[in-house]
Amino acid sequence: MADIVASNRDRLLQAAVEAKTFAYVPYSKFRVGAALLTEDGEIIKGANIENASYGGTICAERTAFVKAVSEGKRKFAALAVTTDVASPIAPCGMCRQVIREFCSPDMPILLAASSYMEKEDGVRESTLGELLPFSFGPEDLERDRG
């Protein structure tokens, strides 16, 4: 799995930057782009889409997962996320839980600063397990109840 991530790292980060350009953020002005790498090397992009009711807003990470899952993709190798902020920003709690629904805790998540190519520390490499420790996942529903 590490090989597919390493060989697609730059392409994945660039796809997150491209996705960010399609963000619809008339209220917060906070653009986010996400790019999801499938185990077979396909990249699915997502941007945050805001709504006047606020509750109808969907984050970039969830947009990418909804697009992928609705097209039959269920196995993922990595996720990249970027914003217009000068330092890396991590997914919100709701997105972390959605990621956990489809990904193992050891899945790499690349958090890219807006100018990540100009900085040595512009990409923070993490895992879902680091971002969501002691997580609840689908396998927990199979546990004995007593």
Neighbours of 71 (CB within 10 A): 10
Helix (H, G, I), strand (E, B) or coil at 83: strand
Q: Do the Cβ atoms of 72 and 37 come closer than 8 Å? A: no
Catalytic residue, candidates 42, 61, 125, 139: 61
Q: Do the Cβ atoms of 107 and 78 come closer than 8 Å? A: yes
The closest alpha carbon to 84, from 127, 28, 128, belongs to 28
Residue 61: active-site member = yes
Distance (Å, rounded) from C-alpha 13 to C-alpha 139?
A: 30
* Catalytic residue list: 61
